[in-house]
Structure 1
Amino acid sequence: MSWVKFLFPPSMFVIATSLASFTPLVISGLSEIRGKHLQYSKFFGVGSQASAVAESKVKFSSRAGMVMVYTPAFLAGISSFVIFPDVGLRFLLLRSAISIHFFKRVLESLFVHKYSGEMPFDTMIVILLSYFSASALMIFNQHLTMGLPEPPVDLKYPGILLFLIGISGNFYHHYLLSKLRSKGAKEYKIPKGGLFDIVICPHYLFEVLVFWGFAFISQTLYSFSCSLGTSFYLLGRSYATRRWYLSKFEDFPKGVKAMIPFVF
């Protein structure tokens, strides 16, 4: 079977790492829908894992936990400029986009987000490894394409546009979320403004666009698999988030979808 024309041809390593990335993300998305949540944010101590969380001895403040979650992925992007001094616009764009995105997430965790809970050590490690491995393997898989002919269909410029839309929209809706709470407050409110009026998780929608920006810039099987898996996971997480808001707020607007406007 001829390979799709918009991707670099994969090796067995690329196929194996793609499956290894895609599969657990899809399983995690299904677990969110079934009520088995990663224990952070509003789902800390919620659901079937609540007792296990209560017994966990090692916890971090949510702020510290999220900074530690994103920092290794950021360092993977930055260090790639030294480890792989390959020339090429596509590679430069990909690792720059990865570095910018995760640096933004670190800064948001430090200065924008307002937190109300804690993060168990095991949850932090799971998310940290997921982001770090995705970033490192996207970069390494791109390195493997050096010297190969470019795909006949070039998607890197649409990828830049997707990335810019995604990172801007993600920041804007994180900013709106941060304005819901006064300093020191811990209560949750129904978000308003931006796309919150039609979906409860627009920040997830724009996060997905960031990852599809990576995929279009990269044009490797791994980056597309990672982006598709991330989409499935965040669809599951947004579904669980909408269900949580429905259970907590009687006045939650029933027409507000989970992540995709007017669809899901």
Structure 2
Amino acid sequence: MSFFSSVLFPPPASVFVSSMSVISFASLAITGASEIAGRHLRYSKFWDATGVASIGVGDIRISSRVGMLMLYSPAMVAALASFFVPGLVVDLRAQLVASALAIHFAKRVLEVLFVHQYSGQMILDSAIPISLSYFSATVTSIYAQHLTKNMLEPAMDLKYVGVLLFLVGIFGNFLSSFDPHKAEHKGGKGL
């Protein structure tokens, strides 16, 4: 038995999961190539659309706060909604995956609402693909985990190691939002 088969589930046989994997990989590869070529997504916590005189015909500007909420909220709602779909999130592993995704995106939404200061704008056509990427990754992850419910558990159970690492990461990331050395919290121009 190889090391990987002792700690990983085999990928579920699903046209949806396989298709989403190919689409996600292709989208990320195209976006990465565009970034390298200098055609950047017009989004960043630190990018401000207000300073750009002419972006293009039909470019819609939205406030950075609205844009960031648009990025994270659909994925958060999808993760939370998965608990209400009968039979989707039934075993412990599925509950852990859906909970981790819900907590991750809820933390992001709460930070947008209550922690970060925003003063700039974002371009809508950059926010939409990012939001769709987060949403589709969330839905695909939860569904892929659902497909493993009747499979044998991996020989080496790493659920609790994963929970510990997730909690350390989410807590550490949350604390970094309150770092007084960050420029966004020094009373200067916000995000």
Q: Same fold (TM over 0.5)?
A: yes
- Cα offset for 1:92? 0.8
Partner of 1:9: 10
Distance 2:119 2:29 in 1: 28
* CA 27–157 in structure 1, closer or farther in 2 if over 3 Å, else same: farther
Partner of 1:64: 66
- Secondary structure at the counterpart of residue 62 of structure 2: strand
Q: Are the counterparts in 1 of residues 64 and 122 from structure 2 also a CA contact under 8 Å?
A: yes
- Secondary structure at the counterpart of residue 119 of structure 1: strand
* CA 114–33 in structure 1, closer or farther in 2 if over 3 Å, else same: farther
Matched residue type, 1:66:
M
**Deviating more after overlay: 99-108 vs 86-95:** 86-95
Of the three residues 127, 130, 133, the one matched with 1:130 is 133
Q: Are the counterparts in 2 of residues 44 and 118 from structure 1 also a CA contact under 8 Å?
A: yes
- Cα offset for 1:174? 2.6
Partner of 1:103: 106
* CA 171–178 in structure 1, closer or farther in 2 if over 3 Å, else same: farther
Distance 1:43 1:179 in 2: 13
Distance 2:131 2:104 in 1: 15
Partner of 1:43: 47
Q: Report the number of matched residues.
A: 182
Asked whether 1:112 is paired with 2:115, we answer yes
- Cα offset for 1:51? 7.2
* CA 65–151 in structure 1, closer or farther in 2 if over 3 Å, else same: same
Distance 2:23 2:59 in 1: 30
**Deviating more after overlay: 89-98 vs 78-87:** 78-87
TM-score by length of 1: 0.61
For residues 15-94 of structure 1, the aligned pairs below 5 Å read: 15-40=18-43, 41-45=45-49, 53=55, 55-85=57-87, 86-94=89-97
Distance 2:10 2:190 in 1: 50
- Secondary structure at the counterpart of residue 76 of structure 1: helix
- Cα offset for 1:154? 2.2
Matched residue type, 2:47:
F
* CA 54–116 in structure 1, closer or farther in 2 if over 3 Å, else same: farther
Distance 1:52 1:135 in 2: 35
Q: Are the counterparts in 2 of residues 114 and 181 from structure 1 also a CA contact under 8 Å?
A: no
- Cα offset for 1:152? 2.0
- Cα offset for 1:117? 1.1
Partner of 1:143: 146
Q: Are the counterparts in 2 of residues 37 and 43 from structure 1 also a CA contact under 8 Å?
A: no
Percent sequence identity over aligned pairs: 46
- Cα offset for 1:156? 1.7
- Secondary structure at the counterpart of residue 43 of structure 1: coil
- Secondary structure at the counterpart of residue 175 of structure 1: coil
- The unaligned stretches of length 5 or more in structure 2 are none
Matched residue type, 2:120:
G
- Cα offset for 1:125? 0.7
* Alignment deviations for residues 179-216 of structure 1 (CA, whole Å, 9 cap, x no partner): 5341xx4278xxxxxxxxxxxxxxxxxxxxxxxxxxxx
Distance 1:136 1:25 in 2: 17
